[in-house]
Amino acid sequence: MSEANPAFAAIDHATAQAHEASSHWAASTASERARLLRGLADVLEQNATALIALANDESALGEPRLTGELARTAFQLRGFASAAEAGVPYLQIDDAAAPGAPPAGRPRLTLVQVPLGPVAMFSASNFPFAFSVLGGDTASALAAGCPVIVKAHSGHPALSRKVFELAVAVVAQQGLPVGVLTLVEGASREAGAYLVRHPNIAAVAFTGSYQGGVALWRVANERPRPIPFFGELGSINPLVVLPGALANGVAEVAKSLAGSIALGCGQFCTSPGLILVFDDADGRSFTAALADALSTQSPHRMLTDSIRYGFDHAVGKMASHAAVRSLIEMREPRELHEAGDDSCAGPWPRLFEVEAAAFIANSDLHEEMFGPAALVVKVRSVAEVLQVLQAVEGSLTVTLWGVQQNTADNLALIRAAEQIAGRVLFGGVPTGVAVTRAQQHGGPWPASTQPQTTSVGYGALARFLRPVALQDAPDWLIAAKRGGTLS
């Protein structure tokens, strides 16, 4: 099959290279891994001007946003280098032997971490640097000792090729096997499924749509030997506005929230898409202010035609629902309308409103509108808020405004948020994910396929390590495993 399909043949070649490099990279020392990761960060920064211009041509995300994203990408590469040097991938738990009969007596047991092997990394459309060729998934897998096969995203192919070209030069300069980092292209789902199904692949990291992610997740689980699939599939990110949060007025908080909804044309997995507002005088004023603030936002064009189609379909479906009221009047596209071509126009922001009972009863209202749009849910009690959150199921984030006091209601809201989200915010907006040790970017299904793991932050490398208990192992082996010097 691969001989008749160039994309499949390229996948065969890349995975063979990764398989060949796997043992070498698994046995690499902390200093070797750190040197590579820092070299990759350096080459990004050395070529920042050209790379940002290229990324902007393909994505229209804007140079300020892309400049910050490239800086974040270099920062997290260096952060994973430091994690490797700190011994995180080489951590051991050593239980000394104890004399006597079980259960008190026991052999010596040493728990070590073993790299999974080659990781297929699916780049995301909305982060051309931070979730792409040298993004967090690549950095964390390399730090864990796993070769990476990057599946380039069709939304920024030229940038992906250029970043990869710079990266492989670093790999070569450091005398590492070419299979430590490879790249494949091919926009078809068949090519993606072929990569996931390939016997040389040991794990998959994916950031993208729910539909595409679920299809690949099924492939990973239907293999003769199923493999871990670490998928981030999207989220509607509820934001709860309690009455106390509006005590000092509605204008500024509405403006802040509108900016978050429209940030990056709403193409963030953490964009607040569900706003729970109490149906009282302040709540109604806040909703009106939010609609006004959002209507003045000017989102740029979306990343791809398919994303724009998906957004238009989602908001059209929402607008046509009998229980839903539109709060922002739909207008004609603002750009290129005279030329009869709306494909490059930024979409108008949209805001909708629905009663809590209708939202709870209609699962089709729970779907993500990936773009500058949100749904306001009118609630009348904390009990109703809890019912809405329960209906949401899994989410990357839940934001709670106004729970500063220790009350029974606030504790109930916090517990409900913890049950459905990987990150709970008590102020601000959910867009913006800090790269730290304490970060958790993942949530219960359908937000992610592995809610006990994170795809952002230094805990991400744990995804690509498997625990192995060594019983009565010789001291030389334990020492070699601890330093990553086993060859």
Taking a C-beta distance cutoff of 8 angstroms, is the pair 236, 273 a contact? Answer: yes
Phi, psi of 234 (to 5 degrees): 115, 170
- Model-level pTM? 0.93
Report the C-alpha gap between 389 and 84 in whole angstroms: 38
Q: Is the bond preceding residue 177 a cis peptide, omega within 30 degrees?
A: no
The residues near 400 (Cβ < 8 Å, ≥ 6 apart) are 240, 242, 410, 413, 414, 417, 424, 425, 426
Report the C-alpha gap between 404 and 242 in whole angstroms: 11
Region for residue 207 given its phi and psi (left: phi exceeds 0; alpha: psi -120 to 50; beta: otherwise): beta
DSSP structure class, residue 87: T
Taking a C-beta distance cutoff of 8 angstroms, is the pair 356, 378 a contact? Answer: yes
User: Tell me, what's the pLDDT at 487?
Assistant: 45
User: Tell me, what's the pLDDT at 343?
Assistant: 45
Report the C-alpha gap between 78 and 76 in whole angstroms: 5
* 57 class by beta-carbon count within 10 Å (0-12 exposed, 13-18 middle, 19+ buried): exposed
Taking a C-beta distance cutoff of 8 angstroms, is the pair 373, 365 a contact? Answer: no
The H or E element containing residue 72 is helix 63-85
Taking a C-beta distance cutoff of 8 angstroms, is the pair 120, 207 a contact? Answer: no
Report the C-alpha gap between 413 and 403 in whole angstroms: 8
Report the C-alpha gap between 469 and 109 in whole angstroms: 6
User: Tell me, what's the pLDDT at 3?
Assistant: 57
The active-site residue out of 146, 185, 269, 384 is: 269
The H or E element containing residue 262 is helix 251-262
The residues pairing with 148 across neighbouring beta strands, listed in sequence order, are 119, 181
CB atoms within 10 A of CB 218: 12
The residues pairing with 109 across neighbouring beta strands, listed in sequence order, are 95, 471
Q: Which residue ranges form the domains of the chain, and what is each CATH number?
A: 2-233+448-483 (3.40.605.10), 238-425 (3.40.309.10)
* Positions in the chain whose pLDDT score sits under 50: 1, 334-343, 487
Tokens 């709060």 -> residue: 327
For 24-37, letters b (16+ CB in 10 Å) and e give bbbbbbbebbbbbb
Taking a C-beta distance cutoff of 8 angstroms, is the pair 376, 287 a contact? Answer: yes
Q: Is the bond preceding residue 103 a cis peptide, omega within 30 degrees?
A: yes
Token pair in block for residue 241 = 């506005």
pLDDT digits (tens, 9 = 90+) for 334-353: 443 333 444 457 899 999 99
**CA torsion, points 428, 436, 21, 42, in degrees to nearest 10?**
90
The active-site residue out of 32, 69, 232, 353 is: 232
- Nearest residue to 61 via CA among 111, 14, 129, 151: 129
pLDDT digits (tens, 9 = 90+) for 383-405: 999 999 999 989 999 999 999 99
- Nearest residue to 184 via CA among 199, 171, 194: 194
Token pair in block for residue 97 = 């032997």
Tokens 């679920």 -> residue: 214
DSSP structure class, residue 124: -
User: Tell me, what's the pLDDT at 16?
Assistant: 98
Phi, psi of 432 (to 5 degrees): 105, 115
The H or E element containing residue 38 is helix 30-46
Catalytic residue at 232? yes
User: Tell me, what's the pLDDT at 202?
Assistant: 98
User: Tell me, what's the pLDDT at 407?
Assistant: 97
